[in-house]
Amino acid sequence: MVSSYQLPFVEHCIRALNPGGRAVVVVPDNVLFEDGRGRELRQMMMDRCDLHTILRLPTGIFYAQGVKTNVIFFRKGEKAADDTEAVWVYDLRANMPAFGKTNPITTAHFADFEKDWRPLDRYVSARPAR
């Protein structure tokens, strides 16, 4: 269950952006998959924004061990409907060690994501399969 502040925070981020404005927000898995209000928020985000990237992070990065998080990248659209054309999902969880205080994640762990991420040409060229 999503805590009472997570969905309103993401909605605030969307509403606060000017058209063309960009945001990157860290959210727990349940924000992306909850029914009811979560579903409404996702539809609003897909309509009003270009939700172009979801980076699935390994567990234990921002929350307690076992809580899965994601980084969502979006740009507020110029129109109020159907702004998201395609979403690239990059799974950084696969083949990763367990992270925590004794084994922190480093910038080196993001090297493949950075190499593959092409936000400016994401609709022009095909993404490599992950």
Question: pLDDT tens for residues 71-115?
Answer: 999 999 877 777 888 888 999 988 888 787 788 889 999 999 988
Q: Phi/psi of residue 65, each to 5°?
A: -55, 135
- Percentage, residues of the chain above pLDDT 90: 30
In a domain, 57, yes or no: yes
pLDDT level of residue 118 (50, 70, 90 thresholds): confident
User: Is the dihedral angle over the CA atoms 32, 129, 78, 76 positive or is it negative?
Assistant: positive
In a domain, 127, yes or no: no
Tell whether pTM > 0.85. Answer: no
In a domain, 130, yes or no: no
Full domain range(s) for residue 106: 6-121
The domain tally of the chain equals 1
Q: Regarding predicted confidence, which is higher, 50 or 82?
A: 50
In a domain, 52, yes or no: yes
3-state secondary structure of 23: strand
